[in-house]
Structure 1
């Protein structure tokens, strides 16, 4: 039944307020008709009855003006307490019903501090009205203390309910925020994975298509005058396209690795495959010199793949834009870093775009370097040529350096 009343009150708030005000008004007016011993029922005194009606009518303002409602009901209830001795009725809990309802509304609709202050002030006023009146007969009786304590009860209950409501609201808000955060993190991870696959596809396609284009153009040029050389170039073209298809299949297989258990399990390319990469460029007329400095350090698969792809993209840009037949790759190992440098001696670029500086290739190289904790710099070299330098961490960046034969006992 209580649940039904609560549901009806939520659906009809105005009617509920009027019903509560009417019930409390009837109770207060009826109290003024009961004279002190001998107890008899009489007509309600006009003044106390009018004050009781005013106090109960003020309850209709409780939803929009809870503070004003407490002030009006407290003042009216105090007046009822002052008029009690002269009109022959007792100042009891039945007359404090309006102020109790107003305090409960204040505690439900405001914060705890405001409710505490309003309740303390109202109880103090009612206690003073019952103790200090009539003049010359001021005394504190036990029933007056009990009346003050009874007046505090509805406000305490309403404050507890409000605290529980705020707690539930906060828990729901935290749960919603956590769900939103999980969705944002999922979207961020999906975006990062898409960018990674896009970089792989760009590097594979740009490298192999550039080589295939150069080989096809060379074969077409030699076909009429040197058929044997053209056949050799065509064979290299077939190998290039086969390698391109293999790498594209492995890269696209990343998208279905959870659904295709028979997918390729070949390791990702790294510096171990660097000689094959340089040989593929030599087949199209770009001679690449590889030099190393310092003791080779172990690289994580991610750093190895990053170094391989940066070298591949940088040499592809040289082949497409540099107008030169020579390039150099230099690997410099230190205790915890690998510095990869790709240079060429081609003509100075007339604009950044002419050497691929502002395209997706350089953006992808920088993103790859940053993803593994490194840095990348690309700039013209003085009067001629271009340089791409990547500074990448090795496995020893977070651990002790590897043992060399000289360090062994």
Structure 2
């Protein structure tokens, strides 16, 4: 990697080398041109100094382009007015002009071309007794036009390169922002899934464990039922966590399609074979194989097609839930179906947590282009509903799910007491949402 000092030193060395080469060309070529012309003043010490003024100023052409150009023009004008004749003294002037036109302002540089022509070629030299060859006068006009065209072409190419770099930098920043946005969306999706998977099951386990502790001595039969419900809920929660982790590791969409059959971990030799094949290196050498582990169980994702199965866990926890379906039920996209089921589960979890003993009602209304889910619960029969720990993310997660699909969710207390959650989700989603 080049150090900053070395990167700055490179152009400086190049400028001094260029100045030396131009100085040699102007001194040697100027002497030859002076000797080959008639009627000109012979080169003296002052003439050689003028030939070296322009090259000596060239190393400063990058930081001071316009002053260097003025110095070279002045040295050329004095050289011609002294009668030393035409020669390669214009080399340093051409280099200084191109540098000033590319690095500096064109509005200060380009007007100097016709001014220099008038002062150095025609008519000023003719007026003071140094007439120029007509062919040289017309040829200089053409060369000045070519010089300005070259300067403008280089300037435009430089501007295009700068614009291209700026576009590439903007595209890179935009790509980084897109990656950060996608990563943030993935983190939020994983957080929602973890909350939906764990909060529902753990809330039911908490309720059932409280019931089991209260009835353990007085009514052991009912306590046994509560413990059985805890076992079932914890088993289902563990299976769902394994399913979620499997989806995250494999990079597949988090929710499993509702019609996907459950996979028995003991009957999937293909997964063991695929895992062993993936442990081979690129040169086809087989590395040491770890003992095969059973694949993570993959249970079907929740669905509102079978409300009784969806509400089985909540009812097993002692929650009374009535259901009602309005309209003609039809197949929903998997992401909509899973989101609706998660909203129902989270709403019932909140009922168990904050209004224990209160009955709940779930209403699913099918329309042509949407499905509406309403979850109502009455006031808790106790003297005071449990508030639970603050800072919950249940309603926020449900609202994010609905908004991500282009729907909406409203949650709040009912005027007659209790709580209501209403979610309206579209029946059709785009390919991008379906792939999530």
Range into which the TM-score falls when normalised by the shorter chain: 0.7 to 0.9
Task: Say whether the 8 Å CA contact 2:376–2:421 is kept in structure 1.
Answer: yes
Change (3 A) 1:207 1:53: same
Task: Say whether the 8 Å CA contact 1:356–1:362 is kept in structure 2.
Answer: no
Alignment of 1:218-233 (within 5 A): 218-233=211-226
Report the counterpart of residue 402 of structure 1 in structure 2.
Answer: none
Secondary structure in 2 matching 1:12: helix
Report the counterpart of residue 20 of structure 2 in structure 1.
Answer: 19
Task: Say whether the 8 Å CA contact 2:303–2:310 is kept in structure 1.
Answer: no
Equivalent of residue 327 in structure 2, options 288, 294, 301: 294
Partners of 1:324 and 1:342 in 2: CA distance: 15
Partners of 2:412 and 2:116 in 1: CA distance: 83
Secondary structure in 2 matching 1:342: strand
Change (3 A) 1:53 1:238: closer
Alignment of 1:99-248 (within 5 A): 99-110=93-104, 114-115=105-106, 118-132=109-123, 133-135=125-127, 141-151=134-144, 153=146, 156-157=149-150, 159-248=152-241
Task: Say whether the 8 Å CA contact 2:405–2:426 is kept in structure 1.
Answer: yes
Task: Say whether the 8 Å CA contact 1:352–1:358 is kept in structure 2.
Answer: no
Structure 1 residues 262-321: Cα deviation after superposition (integer angstroms, max 9, x where no partner): 555654222124322323222222111112223334321111111111111111011011
Partners of 1:204 and 1:66 in 2: CA distance: 70
Q: Is 1:374 aligned to 2:373, yes or no?
A: no
Partners of 2:386 and 2:116 in 1: CA distance: 83
Secondary structure in 2 matching 1:378: strand
Secondary structure in 2 matching 1:271: coil
- Once the two structures are TM-superposed, the CA of residue 209 in structure 1 deviates from its matched residue by 1.1
Task: Say whether the 8 Å CA contact 1:62–1:69 is kept in structure 2.
Answer: yes
Q: Which moved more, 1:319-328 or 1:21-30?
A: 21-30
Structure 1 residues 323-358: Cα deviation after superposition (integer angstroms, max 9, x where no partner): 44201112222332222111212259x999937885
- Once the two structures are TM-superposed, the CA of residue 257 in structure 1 deviates from its matched residue by 2.4
Partners of 2:197 and 2:98 in 1: CA distance: 72
- Once the two structures are TM-superposed, the CA of residue 188 in structure 1 deviates from its matched residue by 2.8
Q: Is 1:90 aligned to 2:68, yes or no?
A: no
Secondary structure in 2 matching 1:26: helix
Q: Which moved more, 1:358-367 or 1:187-196?
A: 187-196
Task: Say whether the 8 Å CA contact 2:242–2:298 is kept in structure 1.
Answer: no
Structure 1 residues 150-202: Cα deviation after superposition (integer angstroms, max 9, x where no partner): 35555654554454455445444544544444344333323322221221111
Report the counterpart of residue 274 of structure 1 in structure 2.
Answer: 307
Task: Say whether the 8 Å CA contact 1:328–1:344 is kept in structure 2.
Answer: yes
Task: Say whether the 8 Å CA contact 2:369–2:428 is kept in structure 1.
Answer: yes
Secondary structure in 1 matching 2:122: helix
Task: Say whether the 8 Å CA contact 1:336–1:397 is kept in structure 2.
Answer: no
Structure 1 residues 33-67: Cα deviation after superposition (integer angstroms, max 9, x where no partner): 4373378x944274x55544444444343111112
TM-score for both structures, normalised by structure 1: 0.79
Q: Once superposed, what is the RMSD of the aligned Cα atoms?
A: 3.7
- Once the two structures are TM-superposed, the CA of residue 380 in structure 1 deviates from its matched residue by 1.4
Change (3 A) 1:297 1:78: farther
Structure 1 residues 189-240: Cα deviation after superposition (integer angstroms, max 9, x where no partner): 2332222122111111111111112222222322222222222332222222
- Once the two structures are TM-superposed, the CA of residue 118 in structure 1 deviates from its matched residue by 1.7
Report the counterpart of residue 72 of structure 2 in structure 1.
Answer: 73
Aligned length: 381
**Dislocated runs of 4+, deviation >6 Å:** 136-140, 350-353
Secondary structure in 1 matching 2:35: coil
Partners of 1:278 and 1:69 in 2: CA distance: 87
Report the counterpart of residue 284 of structure 1 in structure 2.
Answer: 317
Equivalent of residue 417 in structure 2, options 384, 395, 398: 384
Q: Unaligned regions of 5+ residues in structure 1, if any?
A: 1-6, 399-409
